[in-house]
């Protein structure tokens, strides 16, 4: 590969100082018109491209945002990435993507590495294993802007953007109750996730509002793996009084639970029905999809996270006025029962 043409090379060829070349390229009036034209013509001839790294260093920035999320293969997180990249690239920022694979230790290692790597900001959705967050606080204490998104741990003062899952769970449960379902179960996520507790609160509020029974036996926590979900769904079906509908943590959990129902000879949306979260596009191609799903607006979450970082960097103060944005959920009805 040919060496990139630098300002110093242009200066050497024209026998002027590098600072004069820099000013001429910026069309500064401090440089005579004849010199400006000579510099710009030679730069065009040599196909000179300004160094973005050098420009960022002059601004005291790196031009890089880091994004740490559980699994890129999940449609929700890939849509968040789409929103992040589109707005970041529009503002000439690149995005470094890291996956925790829902492992606490890996998340710790990634954030520790980011404390040693120069980035202008970090967007983080915590791993399901994470129960303490000193590694997150360490980033914040070092003055690195941190935006927590979707999976937002409690008691951390920093920027946040998510969707109101308590409200979404309440609307979804009440929607099922309004269609005559009486025994609505909850296949919830792991306890450490705040998102799981949000769903639980919304579910309970809806049952109370609809005068439906609140039974511990109708609530199961899953570790989000297919095996555990199938096991917990099978437990629900083997009860003396099984559910006639299920609110699932997300569409993936709903799809795994449906497998258990089919293995037990049940017909989806006839013998038992599902409502879930995430609104996966693939369910549109299913003969028997969940009746409805709560849209969490992942693309908008990604854009809002970048918006926050851009705003913080523009102001230059990472400690004042933490941004907390909570988007409104939308219950997307797929099948009218």
The per-residue pLDDT for range 115-157, each reduced to its tens digit, is 888 899 999 999 999 989 999 999 999 999 999 999 999 889 9
Share of the chain above pLDDT 70, in %: 93
The per-residue pLDDT for range 150-159, each reduced to its tens digit, is 999 988 999 9
The pLDDT assigned to 175 comes to 98
Q: Domains (ranges, CATH) in the chain? A: 7-50 (no CATH), 63-163+298-328 (3.40.50.2300), 165-295 (3.40.50.2300)
CA distances (Å), origin 211, targets 109, 194, 198, 236, 330: 47, 26, 20, 21, 24
CA distance 310 to 83: 14
The per-residue pLDDT for range 35-58, each reduced to its tens digit, is 988 888 888 888 887 765 555 545
CA distance 196 to 250: 10
């Amino acid at each position: 590969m040919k060496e990139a043409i630098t300002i110093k090379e242009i200066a050497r060829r024209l026998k002027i100082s590098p600072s004069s070349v820099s000013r001429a390229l910026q069309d500064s009036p401090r440089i005579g018109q004849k010199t400006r034209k000579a510099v710009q013509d030679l730069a065009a001839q040599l196909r000179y491209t300004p160094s973005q790294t050098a420009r960022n260093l002059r601004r005291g920035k790196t031009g890089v945002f880091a994004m740490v999320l559980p699994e890129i293969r999940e449609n929700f997180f890939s849509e968040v990435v789409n929103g992040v990249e589109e707005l970041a690239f529009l503002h000439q920022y690149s995005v470094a993507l890291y996956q925790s694979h829902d492992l606490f230790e890996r998340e710790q290692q990634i954030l520790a590495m980011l404390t040693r790597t120069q980035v202008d900001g970090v967007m983080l959705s915590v791993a399901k294993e994470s129960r303490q967050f000193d590694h997150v606080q360490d980033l914040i204490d070092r003055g690195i802007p941190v935006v927590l998104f979707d999976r937002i741990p409690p008691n951390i003062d920093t920027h946040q953007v998510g969707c109101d899952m308590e409200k979404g769970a309440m609307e979804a449960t009440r929607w099922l109750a309004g269609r005559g379902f009486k025994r609505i179960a909850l296949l919830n996520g792991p306890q450490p996730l705040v998102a799981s507790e949000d769903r639980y609160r919304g579910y309970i509020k809806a049952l109370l509002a609809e005068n439906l029974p609140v039974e511990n036996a109708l609530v199961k926590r899953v570790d989000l793996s297919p095996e555990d979900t199938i096991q917990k769904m099978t437990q629900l079906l083997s009860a003396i009084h099984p559910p006639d509908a299920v609110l699932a943590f997300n569409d993936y959990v709903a799809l795994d639970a449906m497998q258990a129902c089919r293995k037990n000879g049940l017909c989806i949306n006839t013998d038992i029905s599902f409502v879930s979260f995430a609104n996966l596009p693939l369910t549109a191609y299913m003969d028997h999809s969940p009746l409805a799903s709560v849209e969490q607006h992942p693309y908008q979450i990604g854009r809002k996270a970048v918006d926050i970082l851009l705003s913080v960097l523009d102001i230059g103060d990472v400690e004042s006025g933490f941004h907390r944005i909570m988007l409104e959920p939308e219950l997307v009805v797929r099948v009218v029962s």
